């Protein structure tokens, strides 16, 4: 029986199907630009395991969040330990930061990762059970400048990749004091309206009322119109931080809109939160988001340090690039593609290929070459720069034909001059 892939997953192939995003070359290009931008802003790469103890995520992302309650791939290993596939990157990075005392290595740890994430979600376009995320976590600096650096890094990445029509939304969810004070008034407002709330929001009212703010349900949104505002409960320090952030963004001419309903789905946020949506195929899709999470590190047993970060989905970036017709660079092929049409030619071509590869020149050989037409077609598919043909005539004359696939120009080169010519 033919085996098939599990639901919500996909393979990334070295072949492009027109309009598809699951193409290795696209991923490599986006990843290359990510590494460049991370270097530009001086973030260092961190790699954490694909799974962690379940409590690493439960404690930080939040025991009432959708990610933890509905979407985690949790399993027991043979030692009866509860482990979970990583649904997001922040928790693992903070676990590592605390465990390895990274604060003692540097005052300001600016880390980044490109990793697969796993979430048991209903698969649809832009939502998969395994996706790849580029994320950064800047730990140790609580200033608005740090917020702006993180946001600016994300926007610079999008810009370098040619994304257009982006919309940056920002908000503050206040500090703990602001949220505690707001929660009381918000819950008192909603309790008499409980029966009118959506099922999800009814549960959230009990467990995590703030999440009701970003409900997509129409009736919920209607009820929220007269609800008290979190902004009216901000402590002076939370307010000041947000005002500074807005002023700095303006001074850098970074356009943004304040969206007071933006709370995001993870429990660790504190003060600044943000999200970037992109216009693609007539719809706004959320391509990246993050926020500040001062206070999280101490819950992991680490020092009380401020931190901010974001995550952006590589699939959504590529899909938006395709929809917006942002250019991808041409995929490069081998410099030489050898076509030995005779059995005797095959051995000498094979040793030439070996020698050229040792010299750092990329080449391929058609070991099954029979008809020149088929081999040329293969060279074309591979985007080879030149082909090297040796048939019976060439063998007799002890020459090889080198044909440039772009200019169609061809030259005959004696065997003993081949390497020398090819190296040029």
Binding region for ligand HAM (CB under 6 A) out of 87-95, 349-357, 388-396, 405-413 = 87-95
149 touching ligand HAM, by CB under 6 A: no
315 touching ligand HAM, by CB under 6 A: yes
Q: 38, 166, 287, 339: which one contacts ligand HAM (CB under 6 A)?
A: 287
- How buried is 303 (Cβ within 10 angstroms: 0-12 exposed, 13-18 middle, 19+ buried)? middle
Q: 95, 110, 131, 346: which one contacts ligand HAM (CB under 6 A)?
A: 131
Least Å distance between CB 148 and ligand HAM?
Answer: 15
62 touching ligand HAM, by CB under 6 A: no
306 touching ligand HAM, by CB under 6 A: no
Question: In the complex with ligand HAM, which residue's Cβ is closer, 277 or 375?
Answer: 277
340 touching ligand HAM, by CB under 6 A: no
Least Å distance between CB 364 and ligand HAM?
Answer: 35
Length of the chain: 424
214 touching ligand HAM, by CB under 6 A: no
95 touching ligand HAM, by CB under 6 A: no
183 touching ligand HAM, by CB under 6 A: no
Q: Would you say 251 and 269 are in contact if contact means Cβ atoms under 8 Å apart?
A: no
Query: How far from 139 is each of 156, 289, 323, 351, CA to CA, in Å?
Result: 20, 17, 35, 53
Long-range pairs for 322-330: beta carbons < 8 A, 24 or more residues apart: 322/19, 322/21, 323/280, 323/281, 324/162, 324/163, 324/164, 324/165, 324/278, 324/279, 324/280, 326/161, 326/162, 326/163, 326/164, 327/162, 328/25, 328/26, 328/29, 329/29, 330/383
Q: Which pair of structure tokens corresponds to residue 221?
A: 């949104």
Least Å distance between CB 359 and ligand HAM?
Answer: 42
| d(C-alpha 234, C-alpha 177), whole Å | 8
Residues of this chain that interact with ligand HAM (CB under 6 A) are: 88-90, 119, 121, 126-128, 131, 133, 135, 137, 266, 286-291, 309-313, 315-316
């Amino acid at each position: 029986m033919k085996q098939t892939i599990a639901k919500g997953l996909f393979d990334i192939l070295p072949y492009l199907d027109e309009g598809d995003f699951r193409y290795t070359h696209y991923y490599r290009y986006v990843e290359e630009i990510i590494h460049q931008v991370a270097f530009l802003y001086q973030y260092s790469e961190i790699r954490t395991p694909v799974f962690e103890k379940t409590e690493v995520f439960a404690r930080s992302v939040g025991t009432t969040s959708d990610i933890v309650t509905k979407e985690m791939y949790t399993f027991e290993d043979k030692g009866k330990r509860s482990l979970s596939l990583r649904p997001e990157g922040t928790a693992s990075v903070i676990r590592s930061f605390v465990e390895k005392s990274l604060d003692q290595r540097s005052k300001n740890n600016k880390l980044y990762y490109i990793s697969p994430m796993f979430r048991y979600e209903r698969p649809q376009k832009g939502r998969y059970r395994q996706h790849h995320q580029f994320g950064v976590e800047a730990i140790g600096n609580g200033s608005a400048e740090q917020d702006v650096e993180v946001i600016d890094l994300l926007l610079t990445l999008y810009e370098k990749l040619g994304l257009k029509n982006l919309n940056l939304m920002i908000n503050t969810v206040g500090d703990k004091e602001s949220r505690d004070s707001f929660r009381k008034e918000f819950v008192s407002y909603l309790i008499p309206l409980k029966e009118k709330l959506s099922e999800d929001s009814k549960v959230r009212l009990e467990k995590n009322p703030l999440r009701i703010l970003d409900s997509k349900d129409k009736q919920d949104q209607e009820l929220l119109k007269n609800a008290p505002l979190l902004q009216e409960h901000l402590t002076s320090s939370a307010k000041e931080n947000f005002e500074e952030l807005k002023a700095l963004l303006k001074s850098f001419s970074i356009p943004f809109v304040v969206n007071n309903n933006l709370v995001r789905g993870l429990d660790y946020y504190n003060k600044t939160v943000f999200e970037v949506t992109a216009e693609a195929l007539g719809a706004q899709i959320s391509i990246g988001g993050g926020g500040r999470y001062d206070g999280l590190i101490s819950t992991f047993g680490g020092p009380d340090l401020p931190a901010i970060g974001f995550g952006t989905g590589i699939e959504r970036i590529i899909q938006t690039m395709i929809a917006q017709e942002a250019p991808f660079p041409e995929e490069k092929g081998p410099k030489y593609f050898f076509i030995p049409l005779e059995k005797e030619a095959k051995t000498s071509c094979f040793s030439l290929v070996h020698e050229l590869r040792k010299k750092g020149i990329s080449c391929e050989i058609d070991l099954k070459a029979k008809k020149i037409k088929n081999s040329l077609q293969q060279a074309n598919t591979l985007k080879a720069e030149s082909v090297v043909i040796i048939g019976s005539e060439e063998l007799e004359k002890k020459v090889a034909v080198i044909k440039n696939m772009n200019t169609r120009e061809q030259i005959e080169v004696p065997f003993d001059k081949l390497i020398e010519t090819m190296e040029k």
